[in-house]
Structure 1
Amino acid sequence: MQGKAPSQQSVRTQVYLGIDVSKARLDVFIHPLGRMLAVSNDTGGLKRLKKAVADCDVALVVMEATGKFHRLAHRFLHDSGFRVAVVNPARSRKFADAVGALAKTDAIDARVLAILGESLRPDAAPPAPEILESLQELTRGRDAAVENRTAVLNQIGASKTAPLIRELKRQLRALETAIANLEAEIRRRIDADPALARRFEILTSIPGVAPCAAVALIAGVIELGQLSAKEIAMIVGLAPVADDSGQRRGTRAIRGGRAHVRAALYMPANSAARHNPDLKAFYDRLIASGKKPKVAITAVMRKLAILANTLVGQNRLWEPHHA
């Protein structure tokens, strides 16, 4: 049959990008094309990466959480229209072991992340707003200072030499000043943002939830108010995980999740188990049924996380008897 030859349509290959992030460089593996490239971890390098994959249909970009070094790439690629998933390094390491990638180099890590993206399809998420990123940094700094203060107090209690005790007390005063300054800065930034200020007001209205715990929830669970009860319990690591095999029914236990948020809920749960009427009744009922105190407190922590999520989602303060 004679006539015009059909026009050739360019078919864009669907690919998955795995990015191993370091302070100065991004190692990128393009799967399944098998292409590897390295770019600088700055705006210029990211523009070069974007140009390099312009002829591909990028289904997902996967990188590990690295404190602050992945943030520029996450924000730039998200703003450029890419779907970006940031995964826990422990998860990607276990996946590497599962697929037999025992060696560890930047190139291998990037390849493993790309294959993980195709195999597991982790959820893509936008970067946190910059104000929340700054709050997270300030909160981590405050938590580290509190840990150092505890260590210095323990040293003072175990020391007998006067010059050492004087030096430790000097360090203690400096740490207490640093903690007070960081807490004041955290509050200043929350008060300056109406949405965060409202969230803080809601959380601190819950009996037992002190300002430090409220800040931990605000900075540590940016999804607060948008999750189901099961999702918030799982994210914080307070959902009992099954441990069954065959006829055996193992003991349910919590695992995973965001440990720093879980730790921040421990003292509020203890306070709520004594002073919050509903949660006190819940705690007493668990103890009466034979549950160990630690298990009962963990259940109260889960109730607090769910309550905080519900109140923020409904944009209302806690009240003893809600209609």
Structure 2
Amino acid sequence: MNKYNETFGIDISKAVFDCYGSIQGHLQFKNDETGFRKFQKMLSKDSLVVMEATGYYHYRFAQFLHHKSIAVSVVNPLSIKRFIQMKLSKVKTDKSDAKAICEYGLTQEVGLYTALTDVQSECLQLFRLLDSFIKKRTASKNKIHGEEVLGVPSSWVYRSLVRNKKHLDKEIKGIEAKLLSLVKQDQQNQLTLLQSIPGLGLKTALFLIVITDGFKKFETASQLCSYVGITPTIRESGSSVRVRARISKVGNRKLRNLLFLCSFTACKHNKGCRDIYERIVNKGKSKKLALIAVSNKLLKQAFAIAKSGHPYDPTFASVLKIN
């Protein structure tokens, strides 16, 4: 049992949100300010509201509740999914999901939501847009290459693709400049510290600061590694099942990809990363596995340096051993 008088599970969608209270049962409200206020009025004292992280839909409601000093927890949807599967539930409706989320909040230890500042919120929006534009630019590059291979049978199509790529280049450059200016407002010192790590680029440093709220969201480096999804998963059972260890991939895909790209440079110019890379390769392991280990090491270095407030120093080993 948790310490709250009543726990509410929320299943939120575009138009409405279904609510299941451990005492009041099922309720439904509109997913807007009016619905939020009606829900707030019927809350009992010392209530806990638990909801899934569902992109755009949960954010506004979670921010509203937090600003009203109501205990709210935003849970990874995968955790809820596994919880429902464990119960062998055969019913899948908004009402049943709200009840399952309520039961999850009653039986599991859940962390409380920390509201984003206006700057953090804008940075996250910019990163989402940046990621979308980068994907579109990559698609445009591939199409341009395809047209060139065909011998450009339609010059109009080719010119249109080139114009589209130039437009995306301009937009991406503008977004990156805006992101840099916003992060410098709040976290200039931390940005400088992270860039002192050989192999860690500006874009990765920016992204790390934004998604970790200046590394305040995580108490240990292992928690951060688990969030990113570069911790190994091991599958063994008895003497017959021996599946090769792999990264979990349950985490932030964008940051994981950025760190992997950084690992190529880090294993050449970062002493700690280079030592790990050479040790793993010399054992006969694959280079890809070694680069994943380098990504993990980079993340731990970033966490240690951000928490300690000291720039990277390869001779100062204690700075790099914060777990």
Interval of TM-score (by shorter of Structure 1 and Structure 2): 0.7 to 0.9
**Deviates further, 294-303 or 205-214:** 205-214
Q: 1:182 to 1:124 in 2, by over 3 A?
A: same
Return the offset for 1:192: 2.0
Q: Which residue of 2 aligns with 1:150?
A: 138
Q: How does 1:97-176 map to 2 (within 5 A)?
A: 97-159=85-147, 160-161=152-153, 162-176=155-169
Q: Which residue of 1 aligns with 2:172?
A: 179
Return the offset for 1:300: 0.3
Question: Which of 183, 198, 215 is the aligned partner of 1:190?
Answer: 183
Contact 2:140 2:161 in 1 (8 A): yes
TM-score by length of 1: 0.87
Contact 2:215 2:303 in 1 (8 A): yes
Mapped pair 1:260 → 2:235: no
Distance in 1 between the 2:125 and 2:73 partners?
21
TM-score by length of 2: 0.87
Tell me the secondary structure at the aligned position of residue 178 of structure 1: helix
Rg larger in 1 or in 2? Answer: 1
Tell me the secondary structure at the aligned position of residue 291 of structure 2: helix
Mapped pair 1:27 → 2:15: no
Contact 2:62 2:113 in 1 (8 A): no
Q: Which residue of 2 aligns with 1:242?
A: 234
Q: Structure 1: 5+ residue runs without aligned partners?
A: 1-11
Return the offset for 1:88: 2.2
Distance in 2 between the 1:13 and 1:128 partners?
24
Residue type at the aligned position of 2:183:
I
Tell me the secondary structure at the aligned position of residue 232 of structure 2: coil
Q: Which residue of 2 aligns with 1:5?
A: none
Return the offset for 1:208: 1.2
Distance in 1 between the 2:15 and 2:311 partners?
45
Distance in 2 between the 1:182 and 1:223 partners?
20
Distance in 2 between the 1:125 and 1:48 partners?
21
Mapped pair 1:206 → 2:197: yes
Residue type at the aligned position of 1:244:
E
Return the offset for 1:249: 4.9
Contact 1:17 1:62 in 2 (8 A): yes
Residue type at the aligned position of 1:269:
S
Contact 2:190 2:214 in 1 (8 A): no
Q: Which residue of 2 aligns with 1:39?
A: 29
Residue type at the aligned position of 2:116:
A
Question: Which of 64, 84, 106 is the aligned partner of 1:96?
Answer: 84
Distance in 1 between the 2:87 and 2:190 partners?
43
Distance in 1 between the 2:302 and 2:294 partners?
12
Distance in 2 between the 1:13 and 1:235 partners?
27
Q: Which residue of 2 aligns with 1:53?
A: 43
Query: Alignment identity in percent?
Result: 29
| Deviation sequence 1:36-87 (CA, Å, 0-9, x none) | 2222333332222122122x642x3211112222122212222333332212
Distance in 1 between the 2:143 and 2:156 partners?
13
Distance in 1 between the 2:162 and 2:208 partners?
32
Residue type at the aligned position of 1:282:
I
Distance in 1 between the 2:235 and 2:108 partners?
22
Q: 1:67 to 1:13 in 2, by over 3 A?
A: closer
Distance in 2 between the 1:233 and 1:223 partners?
15
Q: Which residue of 1 aligns with 2:316?
A: 322
Q: Which residue of 1 aligns with 2:321?
A: none
Q: Structure 2: 5+ residue runs without aligned partners?
A: 318-323
Cα RMSD, aligned residues only: 2.2
Mapped pair 1:87 → 2:75: yes
Contact 1:227 1:309 in 2 (8 A): no
Q: Which residue of 2 aligns with 1:78?
A: 66
Contact 1:220 1:261 in 2 (8 A): no
Residue type at the aligned position of 1:172:
K
**Deviates further, 85-94 or 165-174:** 85-94
Return the offset for 1:233: 1.8
Residue type at the aligned position of 1:191:
K
Distance in 1 between the 2:315 and 2:274 partners?
15
Residue type at the aligned position of 1:79:
H
